[in-house]
């Protein structure tokens, strides 16, 4: 695809986010669709926005779909409310939403453990009108400590993500330093050192951050990377971000983890949205 120099991004390990790609299909058909497109690894937002504690039959059905497709689940979000949508997380929201997050922690950890998933993403949550931000931050730390301990129980990393201010104006973590500050607070509170930064290059670009500088400064604290082009949140090569160069820089900085494809397919089936990536480069190595 024009605008993407594959050669400088070789040797990356890509997975497909099944909560933004293949959404034209029912949830249980998406793992097989990703496999048919040549991928062997997938990730997911929490799939049941209506329930942080779904019936075991729903969990079992998704587990079977992933296993039957022969793909690996490499990343999973804790319950975060309506995604995509206005919620942007639950763990710092007082009342029912933070209680739902807490109820979901062990459910998410157990599901991830059953599939060998070792990265759990905890979206921070929006600011709430009339609530002291310091009180929300204290609640967030309490819940993130619980999440970090659950992640540690299954040998997983807890991910803290920065979103972007234009699309998430009430979300407080809208820069790499803000997310890193929370990572550091969680690690200091638990002593586990299993909290890491989720570096989403699309969100950071939307915030106007210096992406090469972010990579150079924070690659060692990064537990997962996600990409989409900007503007438009489309596939690499549809916008102006030098994603191949940035991925190559990450590799040189020592990052060897997963790169999640978290972009919109546009006005075409998701299976046609990977023409920028040679098929031989899609299976995890």
Domains, the chain, in order of start with CATH, read: 6-276 (3.20.20.150)
* pLDDT per position as a tens digit, 1-16: 444 566 655 678 999 9
The answer on pLDDT for 94 being more than 80 is: yes
Quick one: which of 279, 253, 263, 256 has its CA closest to 227? 263
With b for 16 or more beta-carbon neighbours within 10 A and e for fewer, the 86-109 pattern comes to: ebbbbbbbeeebbebbbebbebbb
Q: Which residues of 159-181 are buried (b: 16+ CB within 10 A; e: fewer)?
A: bbbbbbbeebeebbbbbbeebbe
> pLDDT per residue over 221-231, tens digit each?
999 999 999 99
Residue 268 has pLDDT above 90, yes or no: yes
Residue-level pLDDT at 227: 98
Q: What is the rounded distance in angstroms from the CA atom of residue 93 to the CA atom of residue 107?
A: 20
- Nearest Cα residue to 256 out of 283, 281, 226, 219: 219
**pLDDT number for residue 121:** 98
Q: What is the mean pLDDT of residues 267-272?
A: 97
pLDDT band of residue 52 (cuts 50, 70, 90) is: very high
Q: Is 26 exposed, middle or buried (0-12, 13-18, 19+ CB in 10 A)?
A: exposed
What are the tens digits of pLDDT across the range 136-167?
999 999 999 999 999 999 999 999 999 999 99
Query: Model pTM?
Result: 0.96
CA 217 to each of CA 77, 210, 213, 253: distance values in angstroms, whole numbers, following the listed order = 25, 11, 6, 9
Is 102:147 a contact under the CB 8 Å cutoff? Answer: no
Active site residues: 161, 262
Q: Tell me, what's the pLDDT at 7?
A: 61
Rounded mean pLDDT of 202-214?
98
**Sign (positive or negative) of CA dihedral 165, 168, 173, 177:** negative
The mean per-residue pLDDT over the stretch 53-82 comes to 97
CA 107 – CA 160 distance, rounded (Å): 19
Average pLDDT (60-68) is 98
Distance of CA 252 to the CA centre of its chain: 22
The chain-wide mean pLDDT, for the chain, equals 95
Q: Which of helix, strand or coil describes residue 129?
A: coil
Question: What is the SS3 assignment for 231?
Answer: coil
Average pLDDT over residues 97-115: 98
pLDDT of residue 186: 98
| 231 contacts 225 by C-beta, under 8 angstroms | no
82 confidence band (pLDDT: 50, 70, 90): confident
The predicted pLDDT at position 12 comes to 87
Instruction: Tell me what pLDDT residue 10 has.
Output: 60
Q: Which of 279, 283, 277, 285 is CA-nearest to residue 9?
A: 277
* Region at 79 (left for phi over 0; alpha for psi -120 to 50; beta for the rest): beta
Please tell me the predicted confidence (pLDDT) of residue 3.
46
Whether pLDDT at 239 is above 80: yes
Among the listed residues 251, 278, 244, the one whose alpha carbon sits nearest the alpha carbon of residue 9: 244
Q: What is the pLDDT of residue 96?
A: 95
Nearby residues of 261 by Cβ (< 8 Å), 6 or more positions away: 14, 15, 16, 17, 21, 226, 227, 228, 274
Q: What is the pLDDT of residue 49?
A: 92
């Amino acid at each position: 695809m024009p605008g993407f120099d594959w050669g400088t991004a070789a040797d990356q390990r890509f997975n497909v986010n099944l909560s933004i790609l293949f959404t034209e299909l029912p949830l249980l058909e998406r793992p097989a669709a990703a496999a048919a497109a040549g991928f062997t690894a997938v990730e997911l937002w929490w799939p049941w926005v209506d329930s942080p504690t779904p019936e075991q039959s729903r969990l079992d059905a998704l587990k079977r779909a992933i296993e039957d497709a022969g793909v690996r689940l490499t990343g999973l979000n804790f319950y975060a409310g309506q995604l995509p949508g206005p919620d942007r997380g639950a763990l710092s929201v007082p009342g029912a939403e933070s209680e739902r997050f807490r109820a979901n922690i062990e459910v998410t950890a157990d599901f991830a453990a059953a599939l060998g998933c070792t990265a759990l993403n905890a979206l921070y949550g929006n600011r709430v009108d009339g609530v002291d931000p310091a009180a929300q931050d204290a609640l967030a730390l309490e819940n993130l400590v619980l999440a970090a301990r659950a992640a540690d129980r299954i040998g997983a990393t807890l991910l803290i993500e920065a979103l972007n201010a234009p699309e998430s104006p009430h979300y407080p973590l809208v820069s790499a330093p803000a997310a890193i500050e929370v990572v550091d607070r969680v690690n200091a509170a638990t002593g586990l050192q299993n909290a890491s930064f989720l570096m989403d290059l699309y969100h950071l670009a939307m915030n106007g951050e210096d992406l090469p500088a972010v990579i150079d400064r924070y690659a060692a604290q990064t537990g997962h990377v996600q990409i989409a082009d900007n503007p438009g949140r489309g596939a690499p090569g549809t916008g102006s971000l030098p994603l191949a160069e940035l991925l190559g820089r990450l590799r040189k900085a020592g990052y060897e983890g997963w790169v999640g494809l978290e972009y919109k397919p546009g006005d075409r089936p998701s299976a046609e949205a990977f023409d920028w990536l040679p098929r031989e480069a899609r299976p995890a190595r």
